[in-house]
Structures are given as C-alpha cells and as structure tokens.
Amino acid sequence: LYALKLQHPGAVHFNRGNHECEMTNYQYGFAGEVEVKYEKKLMELFSETFRHLPLAHVLENQVFVSHAGLPGPEERLWEEWYATAPDEAAGYLIRKQQVSLNDIAAVDRAVEPNPDEHPLVIDFLWSDPKGANGYGPSTRVPGVYTFGPDIAANFLQANGLKYMIRSHETKSAGHQETVKGVYT
C-alpha cells in the first residue's frame, strides 16, 4: 500500500484508524505476527509510520473522510451513570466552539491515542454516530463519545462540507447512511 501511495500520491489516500495504534496492534495480533515473520524493529517502524498518517481528509472541498468520527464534547466528562442513561448524558456533553478543518490540521497526530492527553485523536479513531441528538458515551472505550445527527450537521455546516465518509464499522450492505450526511 505504501508503494502505491508513492507511485500515485494524488490518488491514494490513507487515514489513520484505531488499528494503526500500538495498543490495538498488540491486542489483536498484528504486532505478534510482524515480530514472528520479520523482527521486532519492523513493528516499531510500522508504529512510527502509522502515527504520521493523517487523521482525516477533505475530498473535492466537499467530503470529510475520517476513520471513525467527529470531535467530541469540549469538557471530557465521564460519569458512571452515562452508560445507563446515555440520552440524558447528551444534555451534559456539549461543544460550544466548533472545531475547524484548520484546528484538525494543527493536531499533533504523531502520538498514541489517549482520551485525556489527545482527545481529538481518540475521537477521529474511535467515535461512532448515534441516532439521538447530542453526544453520548461510547461502549467501546471509556473517554470516547458517540455523536448525533445534530453534531454531524453542525460540523459539516461550519466547515462548508456536504457529507462525511467513515470506515470504522462494517455494514452488511457495504455502506449505510448512519445519520443524515454521514456514510459508513
């Protein structure tokens, strides 16, 4: 894939996803496979290159492409009751200042994701859309949030975009409009 990117830099686009993180690579076996077939230092090289992959792209000035989701709430509140009452949590989890494409471009992406230290990185790698408005707690990882159709619409409108494409979840039909304007 890297060779294709070098050969066709304007036509091949990579985004970093949650599987381009050390923790996930060790948890799901990619690191072990690389270390058995090759050597440990090659896994270190993979990890370093993965950390430098873009978190998102904009295609044709219209389409936002991210592996998972959108910026989460400004205050990273996490209460135990969120899991049992996610719809009520949406009232507490808000973003007043919209994140711009320039803000995203300025994020230090060459890090391992940590919701406390690098919240935008974790959002682009792990968050998912949900049917209800607002933000909600994710069941995937503590400190990760879901986003509703209002969050997606506000982000797209603020950045002059038409829709979003994401690849974090598989869909039986191959794709699905998970919330209005967001295609998985």
Catalytic residues: 19
Helices of type H across the chain: 2-7, 22-27, 30-37, 40-51, 86-89, 101-105, 119-126, 149-158
**Parallel/antiparallel/unpaired status of strands 177-179 and 182-183:** antiparallel
% helix, strand, coil for the chain, step of 5 = 35, 15, 50
Beta-carbon contacts of residue 103 (< 8 Å; ≥ 6 apart): 120
Helix, coil or strand: residue 47 = helix
CA 161, CA 169: separation in Å to the nearest integer? 22
Look at residues 61, 55, 71, 70 and name the one whose alpha carbon lies nearest to residue 15. 55
- Tallying the residues shown for the chain, one arrives at 184
